[in-house]
Structure 1
Amino acid sequence: MCQANRALDTPALDTPIANEVAELRVRRRRADALPYPLPRSTRIIAVSNQKGGVGKTTTAVNVAAALLKSGARVLLIDFDPQGNASMAAGSTNNPTSGSIYDAMLGTKDLDELVRHDALDYIPANISLSAAELELAGLPRGEFRLSDALSEYFSSHPGSFHYVIIDCPPSLGMLTVNALCAATELLIPVQCEYYSLEGLRQLLNTIGTVRSRLNSRLATFNIVLTLFDSRTKLASDVASEVCKHFSNRVLATRIPRTVRLAEAPGWGKTVIDFDGNSLGAIAYRELASELALRDPEKNDF
């Protein structure tokens, strides 16, 4: 190896790059020893934020992948008509094999729809967008996903430790269905001020769903995404969120990284794309933190 390359591989210890490299090495070692206790019963986690571009799908698929890597049995449900979570899970967009839309209309059971690729998942496609109107005219329209999951687990008890639902970026009937099915909620919040207003709107909707439709929705957690510690704005928004929601804000902060941005282009989660990258380590840390949280603590 030439001298120049050795210098790049072992930067001086007093440079910012060297400090980042050293920190990453420490976090890699710690990530390999993270605890992931398995839940006593299936945890159904809806990942939701009606504001787009906050890392919602990225969070859903990578939390699912990290939990799977830890040894848990995980089902990812793509509930967003854009179908991006399906692609990260390995979908080839075969329209004849069915999607979560079929379960919403009652034309197929969930066990007919589960696919087994990089993750166990139920795909979505653009046809799901029609469900927003169709569900309003169906019996128990708000509970179609909840009913489908109840039927599935009655015939497949204990088949999954976690169900992760990637919600659409809206507060329509699909999101209400996800909230009615969930036992808890994970809210990705981008570190910008417009995200705070969206968070308040979402929590108002959640409160209504919980009081009128789903009392089993016991808790919510907030994860800060696209976090850039070099900017004052990110730090200010993080402080504001923590001030208002204190112990509901998870300690793990998901950074804005190139590898996280590249992984979807390869149809992979960052856990599978580059498991040693900073983004992958952050999601492993987040998954461990979620696994350690008490899902039955009622703290709305």
Structure 2
Amino acid sequence: MSKVYGVIIIGSGPAGYTAALYAARSNLSVLVLQGYQTGGQLMQTSEVENYPGFEEGILGPEMMEKFEKQAQRFGAEMIPEDVIAVDFTSRPFVVTTDSGEYRSRAVVIATGASAKWLGLPSEKRLQGRGVSACATCDGFFFKNKDLVVIGGGDTAMEEATFLTRYANHVTLVHRRDTFRASKIMQDRASKNPKISFLMDAEVTEVLGDDAVTGVRVRNVKTGETLEVPVQGVFLAIGHQPNTDLFKGIINTDDVGYIVPVENTMTNIPGVFAAGDVTDHRYRQAITAAGDGCRAAIDLERWLESQGEDVGVENWD
């Protein structure tokens, strides 16, 4: 006798928890496989001030705890384990973790995306203390500060330009002598008097004890180093969707982002995707939560279209 859940949700960020909330309120039996690192990228965010309903702001981990408790209130089960394998060849689907196999009539993939980092110990130590990978999320906290943006693509240009709304000055550091960014984005940044450029340069260390005080930069051609005094460092070298587990199973683009076939449903009927795992543009908590809502409604309607009762727990 093994339980077949109405839906298994893989991931525990805003998309996963919102999908769990909606599905559980529809009387579906819901299992959230949260991963060993629960809460998604917001667990690394010191304060969230742009999510509606929290007029005084809220700490990222506190917000995710509220998301989790709200989903649990309606009966969603939580297991903090990583998924190591999936079998979507037939229904019920089988999802495997270290502790065993779980089965469900539908699945929501909400594994998110991870910001790419330089891999410096000092960078990791100062995350949330002046080091960020999201200008939209954290730019407001850097009013009248001097900042560094690392990268050379459109995202770096956008982030640097956006940060000039708050910052005193932004230095864009790029390891090559030419940018990958589109010409229109380069022109926009180069014409901004608050932005300057350090080319052929790489950041080798983020300086500061409890907060960022500067960066050490090395010229990749000459080997010369210099220290740039700044109070914030923004990484803009890309994101990597967490989709390795689904390669060859779920349709993705060249980078690895899941490409839904119809609304939030993937190429496998009954398997849905929500949040940053499908989104390379917005990457906000509120858009991820909205996706989770859409996925839950889509899967409920899909189950009904298959002639399956919604909210009935199956055992065999």
Larger C-alpha radius of gyration, 1 or 2?
2
Same fold (TM over 0.5): no
More strand, by proportion: 2
TM-score, normalised to structure 1, is 0.30
More helix, by proportion: 1
TM-score, normalised to structure 2, is 0.29
